[in-house]
Chain A
Amino acid sequence: MLMKTPGFTLIAVLALALGIGASTTTFTAVNAVLLRPFPLMKDQDRIVYLSEYFLKLPDQDAGVAFPDYLEWKKQLTTFEGVGACQTATMIVSGGDQPDRYLGANISADAFSFLGVQPILGRQFRPEEDKLNAAPVALIGFDIWKTHFGGDPSVVGKTIPINGKQTTIIGVMPKGWRFPEASDLWMPLQMDEKDNPRGNFFLAAFGKLKPGVAVEEARAELEAIATRIAADHPETNAGCTARVKLFREEAVKESKTLTLLLMGAVLFVQLIACANVANLLLARGATRAKEIGIRLALGAGRADIVRQLLLETLLLGLFGSLAGLLFAVWGVDLMMKAIPVEIPYWIQFEFDWRVFTFAIGLGMISSFLFGLFPSLQASHPHLVEVLKEGGRSGASGAKGQRVRSGLVVAEVALALVLLVGAGLTLRSFMKLQRTDIGADPSNTLSFRVGLPAAQFPDKKVVGRFFEQLIPKVAAISGVESAGATTSLPAAGNIGLNAVVLEGEQEPKQLQDARLASTLAITPGYVTTCRIQLLRGRDFTTADNSDAPRVALIDEEAARKWFPNIDPIGHQMRAIEKPGDPPMWATIVGVTRHVIYDRMVSKRKFPSVYFCQYQNHENFMSVVLRTKSAPKGYENLARGAVLSVNKNIPIYRVFTMDEVVLQSFWERRFFWTLFTVFAVLALFLASIGLYGVMAYSVRQRTQEIGVRMALGAQASDLLRMVTGHGMRLIGLGLLIGLVGAFFLMRLLGGSLEGISAHDPLSFVLVPIILLVVGLIACYLPARAAMQLNPVEALRYE
């Protein structure tokens, strides 16, 4: 029967495919983030994440200090293994050009207890963790293939990594890029002297012993953290530690948004299903005579229901298959919408879960939404439908009520999604319009640095940047250039404790003044167009021979120097114990610049030290250009290579891109939400159109009578659109109530607007009303154009 009505079949399959395609696309993300096991990792339900945090800032993990990690490793009895790592830039030189990779310094036993073995060579040995042990590295599968051509004899070879001859001891399996996107691993060779307590910079993880609950491990870890805090109050007072399942930590930022998206897309699926149910009801009415004849010939009602349900299940199957095709396209688009490198374990693959979901959704949807129309169609009024010209079909009035009800539901669901899209759009626009305190337009940025292992002499580092910045600034078409340890809105800013002149150094770290501290070169403030409110900017004269200077932002001035001029006052960052205090004189006050990611809620004062007096190894260079900044990448690379031919540049982005990346998840979420909302609007308007068109067709004779009785075009227009508008109005009312309650779920994802933003709640229904009016107008126009004579004869 489906083949005999190809138009119906095509439209029903298409509606289902759109819903299932969108749902499957989103489910692929849910699967990748929340369901798929981490590749290659064994006993994943026992792998946990560990972190220290201060009770004063309970929502922010501080990281783990190296000495604390060593104590944990020694004392924890509920763990099979405890490891730590620090991601690091690793420059592999020796070829034509240096290659920069993201690598990780990691505990030597980590891969063993994580259960992953090299495909070539061996694991790290315990003694390779020791400081000054011979440098060794494990390489990732991808660089084994790309950098070493898949050469199996690579094990045992030595290559310069960060300037040090390093022996490759093994190749890790394909797909292993632990912890997030690393391609190279070296043992965590550290000592407590260089990495004292109070520097929380490591990421720690562990594996619980079999049968140990997370709560048990948490209790043990907290007890150890309390002991450490008691023994070392100056750094660890108020500091404790927590244990979470590794997946819980890994998905903490994406879980809510992913589930919200899944909820949103299921609304789309419901609308698609309502459309199909509408089609089935209309088709049931047109098949009333056929069904009547079957019943008259002896078919039971169950036979009819079975036949009709089988047809709808087939529709569901075709919808699922077509939906999977849409999903392939959707996932491709979704991945293109992600502007940053995502963790290796997030793999948008069509595995058995995705296939089961798509087919299952099609089957369940078609069963649920096919059941009522099948039951409805299976008991027509036999006498009516079998008599000559009979056309009343299966309970026309009841069917019409159900169809109208479905349209009301579609409008309500679409409204909820559209209000959600409106809110996320407004939130996105607010974020985009946020004044970050710097001007990101027409600027190119790139990361460059001299690895500390290769360049232990800080003066060499200082000289490198002193030479590089004027060279970059001298590129034709570059207005100015400067460098900073952290770019505005990039989110990789660290917090430091600072002390003002005349103050005692706090006895405990938790009592210290906290600030975002950056090293910048002269030219950075000008290049980023950061407004200087008082005093002066750094100059090239502020070098290592000159008195140390600092800039603070207005936030620091307001908090630390209320009612006095901060210029001329001294301050310093708290360095490692034993280091001499490095006082710097405040020479200027700038506007506050957002260095955290734009979605971050925290706001700390900023302190700028001069790079030429405070040599940092890795910096982001920023250049303001007279023309499109993207065109300056090669010139900038040339400038760097002319200073040191072994130093690569990486993370080359315009500052506009950096700002966008700082809220890309929101943008991604907003884009998908909007796509779903538009899809919902489209499906709901098609549904409304379908019901109105069907209604006009059913009422053709009535319309003819009304015309014969004097109805004019405007009367018919009012009659048809009035009917549609009543359905829309009811749908909007229900949708608004639903949206009012459901939008609270979005609250945490919105920036600068309330979940009940009046503009979204007013504009969206108007949009829906206009679209609905168009959907009603088309059938109304058809009614107005009916020939009354033909309409009167319509059977």
Chain B
Amino acid sequence: MIKLKNLERVYPLAKGKFFYVLRDISLEINEGEFVSVMGPSGAGKSSLLHIIGMHDHGWNGEYFLGPTAVHHLKPKERATLRNEQIGFVFQSYHLLDDLTVYENLDIPLSYRRFSKTERAGIVADTLDRFNIVGKKDLYPRQLSGGQQQLVGVARAIIANPNLLLADEPTGNLHSSQGEEIMELFKKLNDEGMTIIQVTHSEKNAAYGNRIIQLRDGWVV
């Protein structure tokens, strides 16, 4: 599903020097895999995830998502592709404070130009699927961390992506909440969704079927 060839992410420094965040990354991830990216802080895990998630465009190399050569796409085409294929879960949830749970779930659909009726139906299904119907009118600050991340995951998959990217999804949660989220990921993966997560936790990595280790920007 994903094929990266000789991918590099470089930041220019002063005096003509460069800082390599990712070096010569070549890897393949197949459809239906649940991959954990691990490594020490600064290894380039989140950078790799943002490149795969097409938030970052300043890289070199080749990136194929399915049959599409992402490296040949213009930013706008990448945005369209991302909206069709990818969902993203953040460590600090990033729910919008001024919007209710319902409205937070509605946002990705509104950006994908679903009609109002379609959106209402999809949001209702998702609330039901994640068992959070009773929380739909609450604001994020009225939810626990685990509940917020649950909404974060629901929001990430609401537009039915093929690929779910999660950047330390349990990093801000205590262990029981973290387990719930990982069980949810496992369930989604069992339903066929490809998942790539960045994690420091061996226990969380064990939910997946493959681990990619990064160190100083290299795949080791």
Question: Nearest Cβ in chain B — how far from A792, in angstroms?
Answer: 7
Bound CA–CA A706/B55 (angstroms): 11
Closest 6 pairs between A and B when the two form their complex, measured CB to CB: A710-B111, A710-B83, A705-B94, A788-B55, A709-B108, A789-B50
Known: A708-B94, A712-B76. 14 other contacts (CB 8 A): A705-B94, A708-B55, A708-B90, A709-B108, A709-B111, A710-B83, A710-B111, A710-B112, A711-B107, A712-B79, A788-B55, A789-B55, A792-B55, A792-B94
Question: Which B residues are CB-close (under 8 A) to A708?
Answer: 53, 55, 88, 90, 94
- Say which size band chain B's interface belongs to: 10 to 19
Does B82 interact with chain A (Cβ within 8 Å)?
Answer: yes
Report A700-717 CB contacts with B as 1/0, cut-off 8 Å.
011011111111100100
| Inter-chain contact A792/B90, CB cutoff 8 Å | yes
Does B56 interact with chain A (Cβ within 8 Å)?
Answer: yes
Given contacts A707-B55, A710-B159, A712-B76, whether A701 and B111 have CB atoms under 8 Å apart is no
Given contacts A715-B111, A788-B55, A789-B50, whether A710 and B82 have CB atoms under 8 Å apart is yes
Bound CA–CA A711/B83 (angstroms): 9
Q: Which residues of chain B have a CB within 8 Å of any CB of chain A?
A: 47, 50, 53, 55-56, 76, 79, 82-83, 88, 90, 94, 96, 107-108, 111-112, 155, 159
Given contacts A707-B55, A710-B82, A792-B90, whether A702 and B96 have CB atoms under 8 Å apart is yes
| Inter-chain contact A712/B111, CB cutoff 8 Å | yes
Question: Which B residues are CB-close (under 8 A) to A789?
Answer: 47, 50, 55-56
Given contacts A702-B96, A789-B50, whether A709 and B155 have CB atoms under 8 Å apart is yes
Q: Select which of A701, A710, A787 is within 8 A of B94 by beta carbon.
A: A701
Q: Which residues of chain A have a CB within 8 Å of any CB of chain B?
A: 701-702, 704-712, 715, 787-789, 792
Bound CA–CA A706/B79 (angstroms): 12
| Inter-chain contact A709/B107, CB cutoff 8 Å | yes
Bound CA–CA A166/B82 (angstroms): 100
| Inter-chain contact A710/B79, CB cutoff 8 Å | yes
Question: Nearest Cβ in chain A — how far from B110, in angstroms?
Answer: 8
- Considering the complex, give the chain B residue whose CB is closest to the CB of A705: B94
Question: Nearest Cβ in chain B — how far from A714, in angstroms?
Answer: 10
Question: Which A residues are CB-close (under 8 A) to B83?
Answer: 710
| Inter-chain contact A706/B107, CB cutoff 8 Å | yes
Question: Nearest Cβ in chain A — how far from B55, in angstroms?
Answer: 4
Bound CA–CA A792/B93 (angstroms): 11
Bound CA–CA A142/B107 (angstroms): 79
Question: Which A residues are CB-close (under 8 A) to B111?
Answer: 706, 709-712, 715
- Considering the complex, give the chain A residue whose CB is closest to the CB of B87: A709
Q: Which of B53, B88, B155 is packed against the most chain A CB atoms within 10 Å?
A: B88
- Considering the complex, give the chain A residue whose CB is closest to the CB of B158: A709
Question: Nearest Cβ in chain B — how far from A711, in angstroms?
Answer: 5
Question: Which B residues are CB-close (under 8 A) to A704?
Answer: 94
Bound CA–CA A702/B104 (angstroms): 12
Question: Which B residues are CB-close (under 8 A) to A705?
Answer: 90, 94, 96
Question: Nearest Cβ in chain B — how far from A226, in angstroms?
Answer: 78
Question: Which A residues are CB-close (under 8 A) to B159?
Answer: 710
- Considering the complex, give the chain A residue whose CB is closest to the CB of B110: A715
Question: Which A residues are CB-close (under 8 A) to B96?
Answer: 702, 705-706
Question: Which B residues are CB-close (under 8 A) to A792?
Answer: 55, 90, 94
Question: Which B residues are CB-close (under 8 A) to A701?
Answer: 94
Bound CA–CA A708/B76 (angstroms): 13
- Considering the complex, give the chain B residue whose CB is closest to the CB of A712: B79
| Inter-chain contact B90/A710, CB cutoff 8 Å | no
Bound CA–CA A707/B111 (angstroms): 9
Supply 5 A–B pairs (Cβ within 8 Å), ascending by A.
Answer: A707-B55, A709-B108, A709-B111, A712-B79, A788-B55
- Considering the complex, give the chain A residue whose CB is closest to the CB of B91: A792
Question: Which B residues are CB-close (under 8 A) to A712?
Answer: 76, 79, 111
Question: Which B residues are CB-close (under 8 A) to A715?
Answer: 111
Question: Which A residues are CB-close (under 8 A) to B79?
Answer: 710, 712
Question: Nearest Cβ in chain A — how far from B112, in angstroms?
Answer: 6
Question: Which A residues are CB-close (under 8 A) to B155?
Answer: 709
Question: Which A residues are CB-close (under 8 A) to B50?
Answer: 788-789
- Considering the complex, give the chain A residue whose CB is closest to the CB of B156: A709
Given contacts A702-B96, A792-B90, whether A710 and B108 have CB atoms under 8 Å apart is yes
Question: Which B residues are CB-close (under 8 A) to A787?
Answer: 56
Question: Which A residues are CB-close (under 8 A) to B56?
Answer: 787-789
Question: Which B residues are CB-close (under 8 A) to A707?
Answer: 55
Bound CA–CA A712/B111 (angstroms): 7
- Considering the complex, give the chain A residue whose CB is closest to the CB of B47: A789
Question: Nearest Cβ in chain A — how far from B153, in angstroms?
Answer: 13
